Amino acid sequence: MHRILAINPGSTSTKIAVYDDSDPIFTQTISHSPQDLAKFPNVPDQFEWRKELIMGALNEQGIDLSSVSAIIGRGGIIAPVSSGVYHVNDDLKHDLINARVQHASNLGGLIASALAEPFNIPAFIADPVVVDEMIPYARISGIPELPRESIFHALNQKAIARLFAKETNHKYEDLNLIVCHMGGGITVSAHRHGQVIDTTNALDGCGPFSPERSGSLPPGPLIRLCFSGKYTEKELMSMVHGRGGLVAHLGTTSVPQVLDMIDHGDLHAMLILRAMVYTIAKEIGAMSIAMRGDIDAILLTGGMAHSKRITDFLAEHIDFLAPIYVYPGENELKALAANALAVMKGERQATEYVSCEYDDPAGVNDTRRPSKLREWLKNVTNIPIPKASSMTSIRQYLKKFSPKSRD
């Protein structure tokens, strides 16, 4: 039997759970008031305080850390990594402490390591939000300085995709799936044979708008708004992340409250909610292009998936693409514990984290430096073109209806 401690630090709470193999024996959400959080200038400053709260909760339940086989924390904003379970090593701790974006999730691996070290037990993170398996085409934007990044709900999306594979007697690596996580932030991702080859970026506001995020915005008006002098940089960033989306239009981030407003005849609320779901549908359609239309299933998850009205309205727009399966809610603690347990049972292998830099497309021709992107491009250019390609069909069509053929 393996006892696993899972830790999920969030912006207003710290969630912990202890599992004996797959069975939860203790789960608790420790809420943090704005007054408590205001005592700390930065997220890293909360480290010792949150660690002590976790130790106190475990002591109250009579759970001795010496009885734990492994501790796993939620992954934070680190260097891009492939999906998997990672040892919390010195490189990882350095990047969590010096993260380019300070987020509570950065504390997950740090606290896991601090609690595990005195007992010489392993500390892990799994599928952090920066899981990056995107194909190079998906990274390129129209401005070289602004590449698209892979930042999405990797932990929950990967867990749901593997659950669907298990329930349908398939391997995740053999399936083509579109997974849509619908919570405070919304991400839509294309899972091709076990890798997320394209995804929306919820952290920077790209993709659908959500209860608290703006989603993709018209660039021209956005630039003019930035230079209007009406708002500071901090205020503009909050419009994109935290004060955009439903809350900007309707004054609330609560989807149940918006549904109640609609039930009481609020047509504006109905318009905005449907507009949000419409943007989700469009992103799912875009991911179907990334999959070239070869989709085994569309999986809807996250808190909003509890609403049948939302999933039904969404299905009206996308059910022609593939069968739709709904997995309401999210259980990141369960997903974390399952990843750690798989490593302890030898079903998966934990990886050593290595900090790496972004592979700049502008340097792809510089053969003096190693480049994964260069190797990928060489491989795809060597793929033989099928004899009966769609381009051949188009050429035949044009030839058939050319002026010369009608004479």
Q: Supply the pTM of this predicted model.
A: 0.84
Is pLDDT above 70 for 316?
A: yes
Percent of the chain exceeding pLDDT 90 equals 72
Per-residue model confidence (pLDDT) at position 394: 56
Per-residue model confidence (pLDDT) at position 353: 92
Q: What angle do CA 216, 218, 192 make, to 5 degrees?
A: 35
Domain chopping of the chain, boundaries: 1-153+332-358, 363-406
| Cα 298 to Cα 53, 154, 209, 302, distances in angstroms | 39, 16, 19, 14
Percent of the chain exceeding pLDDT 70 equals 92
Per-residue model confidence (pLDDT) at position 382: 64
User: Looking at residues 195-208, what average pLDDT do you find?
Assistant: 90
Q: How far is CA 12 from the centre of its chain?
A: 19
Unique residue bearing structure tokens 């294309």: 190
* pLDDT tens-digit map of 240-284: 988 899 999 999 999 999 999 999 999 999 999 999 999 999 999
User: Looking at residues 9-36, what average pLDDT do you find?
Assistant: 90
Per-residue model confidence (pLDDT) at position 370: 67
In sequence order, what are the residues at sequence separation of 6 or more whose Cβ sits closer than 8 angstroms to the Cβ of residue 12? Answer: 31, 32, 37
CB 321 within 8 A of CB 354: no
User: Looking at residues 20-28, what average pLDDT do you find?
Assistant: 94
| Cα 287 to Cα 122, 180, 300, 379, distances in angstroms | 37, 10, 14, 23
- Would you place residue 398 in the very low, low, confident or very high pLDDT band (cuts 50, 70, 90)? low
- The length of the chain, given as a count of residues: 407
Is pLDDT above 80 for 117?
A: yes
Unique residue bearing structure tokens 């009206």: 316
User: Looking at residues 95-109, what average pLDDT do you find?
Assistant: 89
Per-residue model confidence (pLDDT) at position 184: 87
Name, of 77-86, 168-177, 383-392, the range with top average pLDDT: 168-177
Per-residue model confidence (pLDDT) at position 357: 65
* Closest by CA position to 131, among listed 63, 65, 181: 181
CB 122 within 8 A of CB 70: yes
Per-residue model confidence (pLDDT) at position 395: 52
Is pLDDT above 50 for 407?
A: no
Indicate the SS3 state at residue 197. strand
Unique residue bearing structure tokens 């549904």: 259
Per-residue model confidence (pLDDT) at position 10: 84
Indicate the SS3 state at residue 245. coil
In sequence order, what are the residues at sequence separation of 6 or more whose Cβ sits closer than 8 angstroms to the Cβ of residue 186? Answer: 180, 200, 202, 207, 208, 209, 210, 213, 215, 280, 302, 304
Give the CATH number of domain 1-153+332-358: 3.30.420.40
Please compute, for residue 291, the number of CA atoms within 13 A of its CA located in the half-sphere on the CB side.
29
CB 332 within 8 A of CB 73: no
Per-residue model confidence (pLDDT) at position 293: 95
User: Looking at residues 209-215, what average pLDDT do you find?
Assistant: 93
- Would you place residue 376 in the very low, low, confident or very high pLDDT band (cuts 50, 70, 90)? confident
User: Looking at residues 285-290, what average pLDDT do you find?
Assistant: 96
- Would you place residue 401 in the very low, low, confident or very high pLDDT band (cuts 50, 70, 90)? low
CB 253 within 8 A of CB 246: yes
User: Looking at residues 364-391, what average pLDDT do you find?
Assistant: 67
- Would you place residue 102 in the very low, low, confident or very high pLDDT band (cuts 50, 70, 90)? confident
CA dihedral of 251, 255, 257, 262, whole degrees rounded to 10: 100
CB 89 within 8 A of CB 352: yes
- Which residues pair with residue 13 across a beta bridge? 31
* pLDDT tens-digit map of 130-162: 999 999 989 999 999 999 999 899 999 999 999
CB 343 within 8 A of CB 124: yes
CB 176 within 8 A of CB 192: yes
User: Looking at residues 46-63, what average pLDDT do you find?
Assistant: 95
Per-residue model confidence (pLDDT) at position 335: 94
Per-residue model confidence (pLDDT) at position 405: 47
User: Looking at residues 228-245, what average pLDDT do you find?
Assistant: 92
CB 183 within 8 A of CB 251: no
